Amino acid sequence: MEEILNLLQNNARLSVEDIAAMTKKSAAEVEAVMKRLENDGVILKYAAIVNPDKVVESKDKVRAEIEIQVTPEREHGFDALAERIYRFPQVKSLYLMSGGYDLKVIIEGESLQEVAFFVARKLSTLNGVRSTKTHFFLKTYKENDVLYVDEKTDNREGVTA
């Protein structure tokens, strides 16, 4: 099962037949494992990783990371507030953190003003939110083990004596 997961994480476009050949299992076995992983919620989605700098529509989007300090709710802890936050369509990721803040939110907007409006009018006004700190993404070099920059090769000629 782990071997199939690793193959799919590296390339979700592999066919059942390709995975079967690579794992020395039958196509039916691979299909059954994949179905079980999907049904058990281990595999949530198959997706392409897209470089936003190379997509015209995405180039102008603004991404930000927001650190949030909150007051946990009695009997619900962080979960109830986290649920209110992750339901906003601007929220792309949400994490419970250890350290100097409680929640980390990754959001996306059409402009700096839209992101600022979201933080000021939607996020910081939620009951339980004590403070926010916003950091804007300027450039992505690597994310989820994928390089977003072209690796440059050294084209200089060697010096010989």
Domain boundaries, the chain: 2-39, 58-139
Please determine, for residue 161, whether its predicted confidence score (pLDDT) is greater than 70.
no
Using pLDDT thresholds of 50, 70 and 90, give the confidence band for residue 4.
very high
- Among 48, 38, 101, which Cα is nearest to 72's? 101
Query: How confident is the model over 147-157, as pLDDT tens digits?
Result: 888 777 566 66
Position 67 scores a pLDDT of 98
- The answer on pLDDT for 10 being more than 90 is no
| Exposure of 40 in the CB half-sphere (CA atoms within 13 A) | 8
Confidence label for 1 from pLDDT (cuts 50, 70 and 90):
confident
pLDDT for 156 equals: 64
CATH of 58-139, picked from 3.90.1420.10, 3.30.450.40, 3.30.70.920, 3.40.47.10, is 3.30.70.920
What DSSP assignment string belongs to 2-66? HHHHHHHHH-TT--HHHHHHHHT--HHHHHHHHHHHHHTTS---------GGGSHHHHT-EEEEE
Q: What would the pLDDT profile of 104-145 be if each residue is shown by its tens digit?
A: 999 999 999 999 999 999 999 999 999 999 999 998 888 888
Instruction: Name the residue type at position 139.
Output: K
Q: Give the list of residues 6+ apart from residue 99 with CB closer than 8 angstroms, or none.
A: none
**Rounded to whole angstroms, how far apart are CA atoms 60 and 110?**
7
Query: Where residue 15 falls among pLDDT bands split at 50, 70, 90?
Result: very high
Alpha carbon of 11 to those of 31, 37, 113: distances in Å?
A: 16, 16, 37
pLDDT digits (tens, 9 = 90+) for 18-52: 999 999 999 999 999 999 999 999 999 998 888 77
The size of the chain, in residues, is 161
